[in-house]
Amino acid sequence: MKLAFNHSEKAIGLIQKICAAIEQENGRAFLVGGLVRDQVMSQLGLITSHNLPPARDFDIEVYQISAESLRSILAKFGRVDAVGEAFTVYKLGFGRGAERIELDISLPRRESKTGRGHRGFTVTGDPNMTTLEAAKRRDFTINAIMCNPITGEVLDPYYGIDDLKARTLRVVDPTTFIEDSLRVLRAMQFAARFELTVAEETKALCRTIDLTDLPCERIWGEIEKLLLRAKKPSIGWQIGLEIGVIDQLFPELKTLVGCPQEKDWHPEGDVWIHTLQAMDEAAQLTSNLPKAQQTTVMLGVLCHDLGKPSTTKEIDGRIRSLAHEEAGVAPTEKMLDRLNIHNIDSYHVQDQVIALVANHLKPGQFYKQKDTITDGAFRRLARKCEMQLLYLVAKADSLGRHAIDAPEPNATAQEWFLQRVLALGVEKSAPEAILLGRHLLELGLKPGRRIGEITRTVYELQLDGKVTNLVEAIAAAQDLIAKKAQ
């Protein structure tokens, strides 16, 4: 098989020039990693090119040439930054902004296990390794494919292309695989992103690996890819259940498995099944959101029913989970704290996720009261969470109820909710207060607690629509001041 990269001619041309210079010094250079895997999948028709993120980072592995010689060659093409001590990666960058590309160029890695966990390695570069030896250290066969960027020829020593055609995720070498526990989480996100079936022997191997050594940032790095890059994140979470990730790292989610639901409302099955179906719906609903907001909704849906296991009871012959939305706050906060998820791009992700969990039933409840619910109720809810995100969480929750011979779920209540939200202009936040402390000072009121009391009272009037401009706000404040003086 030959690969024809459909990336920018400038990037591929530059890579070919660098690799040709390496070959002139009797070295060999190959593109490796996810770029090659994705290109193979594209040419096999397994993914479409528009589903691939623009290639900005290229990994090149160089054989049969010393590190010193490699750096000398690379220096002819621009500034070379060396990263790492025992194992050096040479970095070259070209262009600016959206046109910038980054090249990571290194010798093949030889790893020696020196301690527990995914960091317990000594890594050195070894130019004398064979491509077969180098590929053997990769995690999965689909990631062990190499490509000569000059000729397009592919090296596939562990039959990764065959596994891609069969939509199978399989380890390269069991002995090396178990040395890095992070690979178990990578199995989850690869299975979800590329909709692969994990080979049974790979599942069995994953179940033997202790994951408790993994730091939170590495765990989140893989979970984030699962949440944001997969069209069907349910695949990854189900695999996680089967290979022990949920048991070891997500005990809050494990409680959802087997937690019953009333069949009239949830014909799809238990809370775990419902959550997975809702996650897939959310993935479709959030694909165009900014990263922080997309992450918030996906986590909100993942956690929205964490309160059900502690509240589910049979009442009058029906399964009920009364107040489960509030009960879900504590386990949600605990899980997010453990993953160290707080802010992304200055957006308060954890606070929003917790608020979404606590209020995810509100759109449906408001709809049931649509003839009497006030604008003030909407504005007050907008003080607690971002309403357009609440709409998405509630919609995913409503749509995530698929079952054979059951009516197709709908989101009538959520669409009504969104229209009211948009009409009031509170999709992102509640309205800013019209009356400020400085306005009261201008009226002659002295600084003190009374200013806060009056501004809060007038703001409540504003939320109810009884104050709509500054003139009305000042008049309301003057009435309050006059009543106090009586």
Count of alpha carbons within 13 angstroms of residue 52, beta-carbon side: 22
Tell me how far the alpha carbon of residue 62 is from its chain's centroid. Answer: 33
pTM of the predicted protein model: 0.92
372, two tokens: 């009497």
Q: What is the pLDDT of residues 194-230, one digit of tens each?
A: 999 999 999 999 999 999 999 999 999 999 999 999 9
- Measured CA to CA, the distance from residue 378 to residue 391 in angstroms comes to 12
Tell me: pLDDT of 118 over 60. no
pLDDT band at 145 (very low <50, low <70, confident <90, very high): very high
Q: What percent of the chain has pLDDT over 70?
A: 95
Concatenating the DSSP letter of every residue in 166-230 gives: TTEE-BS-HHHHTT-THHHHHHHHHHHHHT-EEPHHHHHHHHT---TT--HHHHHHHHHHHHHH-
Name the DSSP class of 95: S
pLDDT computed for residue 484 by the predictor? 75
Beta bridge partners of 318: 315
> What was the pLDDT predicted at 100?
85
Q: What is the mean pLDDT of residues 250-261?
A: 98
Q: Is the pLDDT of residue 25 over 80?
A: yes
Q: DSSP secondary-structure letter at 97? A: G
Name the token pair of 70: 């490699």
Is the predicted pLDDT of residue 85 greater than 70, yes or no?
A: no
Q: What is the pLDDT of residues 28-62, one digit of tens each?
A: 999 999 999 999 999 999 987 555 666 778 999 99
| Beta pairing partners, 125 | 109
Mean pLDDT of 309-313: 97
Q: What is the pLDDT of residue 114?
A: 61
Structural domains of the chain, with CATH: 1-165 (3.30.460.10), 285-431 (no CATH), 437-485 (no CATH)
Kindly report the number of other CB atoms within 10 A of residue 480's CB atom. Answer: 17
